[in-house]
Each structure stands twice: as structure tokens, then as C-alpha cells.
Amino acid sequence: MVQFLSTSVGGGKDEQPTETVEGCGDTKGGLCLIYLSAVICIKMKLYCLSGHPTLPCNVLKFKSTTIMLDCGLDTTSVLNFLPLPLVHSSRLSKLPGWVSKDGTVNLEKELKECAGRVFVDSQPEFCLPERELLDLSTIDVILISNYHCMMALPYITEHTGFTGTVYATEPTLQIGRLLMEELVNFMERVPKAQSATCWKNKEIQRMLPGPLKDAVDVWTWKRSYSMQEVNSALSKVQLVGYSQKVELFGAVQISPLSSGYSLGSSNWIIQSHHEKVSYVSGSSLLTTHPQPMDQSSLKNSDVLILTGLTQMPTANPDGMLGEFCSNLAMTIRAGGNVLVPCYSSGVIYDLLECLYQFIESASLGTTPFYFISPVANSSLEFSQIFAEWLCHNKQTKVYLPEPPFPHAELIQTNKLKHYPSIHGDFSSEFRQPCVVFTGHPSLRFGDVVHFMELWGKSSLNTIIFTEPDFSYLDALAPYQPLAMKCVYCPIDTRLNFHQVSKLLKEVQPLHVVCPEQYTQPPLTQAHRSDLMLELQPPPMPYRRCSVLNLPFRRRYERVYILPELANSLVPSEIKPGISVATVSAVLHSKDNKHTLQSVPKPPPVPPSKKRKRVIEEPPVVLAPKPLLSGAVPLEAFLATLQKHGITEVKVEETADGHILHLQAEDTLIQLEEDGTHIVCDNNEPLRTTLRDLVLRFLQKL
């Protein structure tokens, strides 16, 4: 047992110091550790700031730290806006304005109708993570899983008073920078003069047709950030490597693990001395270009926060790649062009590798392949230089030396050409039929808008959707009527429900926390119970703006004892092989490190003729009362009472021990496992005698 004169355990914003703490000691390698069991248990909280399960943004309050887990930007909101054409589009400019059926609401300048759908005619805006649920300026660190989950970073770091640190791997930082730069470029090169705001009025929004009517938190939607904000946000990023351990304020330790999804993508371990939280976001068990997923480090987690599962649980990625290649070849042979709306990094590397193997067998050797993006060149180069982040097969090529990705050879042989935009060199070298990879997958901005206007009227051409983030029907809505063929081949390598169920059985976390969408089948396939998480105990679901008290409480805290104080301890053996010692000490807490220090001696009183005031007297440190150990044997105690003239004793057995009725003395003695109570009415000499008799059977420490 440990007895303190003064203690202060924890010290975080949500933690209350405790005045008495009990615990046990352990000596390892000459260092004495004391584990304290706190009287007040401290909860762990999770705040959900995003409703999109594959673009998460959560905040974890653990010990005295506030940790943001990813800051994904929900770009599906842009589907409610008209596309931004690179050149004037007479078709879009002639779309009729929207007026309510009764004529009471006229928003012809803000809303346009196309093929039965209503779109906002303004610069596209994004649905940000929730910013009112908690004070984001209190966030200590932000952990980034992959470059798709950091697109909202400038909104968080530049406009909330954030002063903390962002942790990410180098590929995540560099490719995330490219994606942000591309987004800013797409928006700034086609500025819109007008800004639509009236349609966001709650009363007006209720009168709009769907899906505008059902859009979430439209008054919080924001336009894109600037490049200055991007650079400022990314200057706060600190690079980490896989399995590198980083200590946060002495309270917890964080460490990234390979998640197998994209270059540099990470899962995170958040660990204290006695608790472990795993954050699994955007992971893959498939063999593609990144390093394979580290599963073993996720074992023995108290809580596993799971998000970023596949958006296409019924679509096999290998099957989708096969469909992609066959549809592409069919279109080219028929004399048509193929348009592939895609991001500038990620799946495009696998598509180009697949085409490298497919081109010759399909007799497409003379077909030009174009990759158009403001960051196309940087993206292709980065994929070749991050060798240590690639799978083993690609790493070995670097040491041959060979480029790890075959698109380097496609570029050298002029089969793949990349351009920053459709202007300049591309316009003079462009020839058809061809295959064009360009962004943005939403079809609302970027060079893809130009090709939709250019090729949409011919049935010879085909658009192949490979990115799963957007509904292809919603993406195509403002281009209707459309003659070109549409093929949907979503390639999503993230964990499906079967894979994640198997993973969870292997790592066996005590509790699983996940988005609400994962705890029920999709609305369109309500009978598919295999498309949901079925676990025991059931996972804890969350949705946007929910706050969860995670299902375990901290009970122990590690405390160090100074060597000179440890040397003064005098252990007493209470059982064979078990010794205990009492200690009187002051608990000093700093940076979440707790140390037992010797009680300071009162300073000597200087001689003075003048009488000191009472309040100036040095504090008196009372010697601690001895601690008692052992049990009171019933028969021996009754015999001792008899020797002292107490014979009329009635014994009653209880669940916790025995109650002794001393009938002549009108007194009760309760003998229990964890304590002894003497109930005596106004007979202090008798109470003292009985106490002394009890103490004969106990050991003093």
C-alpha cells in the first residue's frame, strides 16, 4: 500500500486530481515503479466531425491529449453544382433558371435546370468537417492516414486557432500537396463572378427539389482554399516513418503502421502505459504497389476505431481492371476515344501498369495515352522515387536499377504523354483515337469538363469511371442528354466486410468503434447481411456530430519513485514471498510524468525576539498512521473475548464475514474481509479494549 501526503494524478483538461490513491510497487532493473489505482476513473471520448465513412474526421480525447484522426474533405457536395468549363459553353449558358411551381421563389440567377435536375450555378463548394461540436483550437495533434484524408487540412489549421502539430509520412505529405495544388489550380483558373447564397436559406432549401433539398449543413459549405493557405497548413506537418514512436506530452505514444492502401498510407497506434487504441483507416490486404499492411501490431487493443472500408463491397478490383481494359480496347478498335476521370495519384498507377501489360496483346501499340493534370509530371516522378514505401517486388527493381513502375517505360517510348493542361503543347500534339486520363472524377471542374463537352455527343466515345468516390449517374447529370457510352468499373482496394471480419478475429480488440453505415446493410441491398459488421460484442456506431464515451476507463497510472526515497523503504513480509512497505511522499507531476519525492523538511525557525504570527509557523508534517494487514480468526477471537470476561456472544454469519453480538455489553463487532467495525454505545473504555483485542491478530506496517 502507498500513502501520500499530497497527490495530483493526471492533470488533463477533463481530469480531476484525486486526494487518495492506492497501488502496488514493482522493482525492475533497479528502478522502482508504482502503479496507482485512481479513485476517480477518467473516460475516453470520441467526437465524430464527418458523416462520410471513407473521408473521416474524428477527435479522440485520451488522457490529457486531444488528437484529431484525419481531416477528410467531403467533395460529394460539388455534385450539386454546374461544371466549370475551360472555354465558354453555349449549352450550359442556355440552361433555364429555376422558379418554384407556384412562382413564389425565383432563383433563376443561382439555380439552373438540366434534364430534370436542379444545379447551383456558382463556384463549387465543399462540405467541411463539423466545427461547432468542440473547440478545434484545443487540438494538440492531427494524425493523417493517407493523402485522400488530409484534403480539409487548411480549413482546420488556418481558421480555427490550431497551434498543434500534424503527423504524416513523407509520401502522404508530398502527394497530398499535389492533390491540394491541383484542386486550387482547377478552381482558380476558371473563376466564377457570382456567388450563390440565397438558395442556402433554410426556408428556401425546404422548397427545392432533391437532392438539393436533402443536402447537409449547406450554410457551412466553403469554397476552395488558396495556395498560400495550403503552404501554411503543410508547414505544420512533421514527417514520421513506419513504426516510429512519437511521445505526446509524456501522456501517450503514437506510431504509424503500414496500411497497404496507398503510398505512405498509415494506420495509427495510440498507446499509454496501460491502454492501447488502434486507428484503422483506409487499409488493404491486396497485393498492389504499396507496402503490405502491418496487422500484427494491432493486436491487444482495448479499442479499435475502424473506418475507410471499401465503398464497393460487391466489386472485385481484379474483375474491374479486366472490364476496364476490355471496354477500352473495344472503343479504340471502333474508332472512338476513351475518357478516364481520375485523381492524379493512386489507382492511376495501377491502371497504367495494367495497360502496360495489355497494350501489345490488344494491338493498341499505336494508340496515344494522355495524362493531363497540373501536377501530372510531379505525380509520375514521385511514384518512382519513394522506393522505401513500395512493396518488396518494386523495391528490388530500384536496386537493379530499374524504375519500379512500368509507366516510366511508357513515357520513354512516347506511348504515354503527360501535360499540365489542354493548352500549349497538348493542343498541337493531340491526335485521335486516344485514351485520356484527367481530373476531376466529379466531372465538375478540371480538364475533364472540356472532354465531356467535346466527346459527349458521339456514341463512338466512352467514359470509364474507375474512382468509387462519386455516383457516376450524379456526375453525368448536368451533361444530359449524353450520347457517349458510360462504363462503371469502380476500383476500390480497401478492406471489404469479409476481410475486416477475418482481421478483427485475428487481432481481437476488446471493443470496436465504427461508422453507423457499417452496422447495417446498404439501403439498396437490405437482404445482404454479409455487407455489414457482425461482431460480439456489437460494434459501437457513430454518425456526424455524435460524441461517444468509449467503453473502458483508465484505472492505473505509472509513478516513479526517487532512489533516495526508495532506499528508505523498509519492507515487511506479510505472506511468504510478498513484502510491502509504507511510504510518505509528495507526488510531483510535470508533463504527465509522476514522481514520488521525499517530504520536504520544515525550514529552521530563525531566532527572533518578536513573536511570530500563528500563520507564519512552518506546517507540521504528521507521521502517517500504521497500516494494518491480516485477518481476525473467529474461533481464536472468541476465545480471547472469553478470557477477558465477555462470554455472552451470539455469532451471525453474513455474506462478507461474521457479526458478533455482545449481548451483555449491547455491542456489535463486524468482522469482514476488508475491515472490522465496532459499534458501541457510549462506552469508550469497552470500545478501546475491543479495539486492542482485534489489533492483537493484525500485523502493523
pTM strictly above 0.85: no
Angular region, 147: left φ>0, alpha ψ -120 to 50, beta rest = alpha
Ranked by mean pLDDT, which of 10-14, 31-35, 125-129, 657-661 comes out on top? 125-129
Q: State the average pLDDT over residues 476-498.
A: 95
Answer yes or no: is pLDDT of 14 > 60: no
Q: How confident is the model at residue 12 (pLDDT cuts 50, 70, 90)?
A: very low
The residue ranking higher by pLDDT, 360 or 456, is 456
Domain(s) labelled CATH 3.30.310 in the chain stretch across 628-700
> Residue 566 has what pLDDT?
85
Answer yes or no: is pLDDT of 159 > 50: yes
Answer yes or no: is pLDDT of 180 > 50: yes
- Give me the DSSP letters along 424-482: THHHHH--SS-EEEES-TTSSSSTHHHHHHHHTT-TT-EEEE--TTS-HHHHHGGG-S-
In DSSP terms, 114 is beta-bridged to 117
pLDDT in tens, 138-154: 999 999 999 999 999 99
Domain(s) labelled CATH 3.40.50.10890 in the chain stretch across 317-488
Q: State the average pLDDT over residues 630-644.
A: 87
Q: How confident is the model at residue 357 (pLDDT cuts 50, 70, 90)?
A: confident
- In sequence order, the 6+-apart residues with CB closer than 8 A to the CB of 185 are 374, 375
Q: How confident is the model at residue 620 (pLDDT cuts 50, 70, 90)?
A: low
pLDDT in tens, 302-336: 999 999 999 999 899 999 999 999 999 999 999 99
Percent of all residues in the chain with a pLDDT value above 70, rounded to a whole number: 90
> Residue 590 has what pLDDT?
81
Answer yes or no: is pLDDT of 597 > 90: no
Q: How confident is the model at residue 185 (pLDDT cuts 50, 70, 90)?
A: very high
Beta carbons of 310 and 284 less than 8 angstroms apart? no
Answer yes or no: is pLDDT of 104 > 70: yes
Among the ranges given (164-168, 387-391, 489-493, 599-603), the one the predictor scored with the smallest mean pLDDT: 599-603
Answer yes or no: is pLDDT of 196 > 70: yes
Beta carbons of 119 and 81 less than 8 angstroms apart? yes
Beta carbons of 467 and 378 less than 8 angstroms apart? no
> Residue 655 has what pLDDT?
84
pLDDT in tens, 531-560: 899 888 899 999 999 999 987 666 677 888
CATH 3.40.50.10890, domain 317-488, yes or no: yes
Percent of all residues in the chain with a pLDDT value above 90, rounded to a whole number: 52
pLDDT in tens, 388-434: 888 888 888 877 777 888 888 899 999 999 999 998 899 889 999 99
> Residue 584 has what pLDDT?
80
Mean pLDDT of the chain: 86
Answer yes or no: is pLDDT of 509 > 90: yes
Taking CA atoms, 650 is separated from 83, 469, 685, 695, in Å, by 92, 78, 21, 21
Rg (CA), the chain: 35
> Residue 610 has what pLDDT?
56
Answer yes or no: is pLDDT of 675 > 90: no
The residue ranking higher by pLDDT, 637 or 155, is 155
Q: How confident is the model at residue 613 (pLDDT cuts 50, 70, 90)?
A: low
> Residue 273 has what pLDDT?
84
Domain(s) labelled CATH 3.60.15.10 in the chain stretch across 44-312+508-549
> Residue 4 has what pLDDT?
36
Answer yes or no: is pLDDT of 33 > 60: no
Q: Domain 44-312+508-549, what architecture?
A: 4-Layer Sandwich (3.60)
The residue ranking higher by pLDDT, 627 or 640, is 640
> Residue 245 has what pLDDT?
96
- Give me the DSSP letters along 5-45: EE------TT----S--EEEEEEETTEEEEEEEEEEEEEEE
Q: State the average pLDDT over residues 222-246.
A: 96
Beta carbons of 62 and 143 less than 8 angstroms apart? no
- Give me the DSSP letters along 183-218: HHHHHHTS--S----GGGSHHHHTTSPTTGGG-SSG
Q: Write the CATH number of the domain with boundaries 628-700.
A: 3.30.310
Name residue, grid cell 509524456.
250
Answer yes or no: is pLDDT of 22 > 60: no
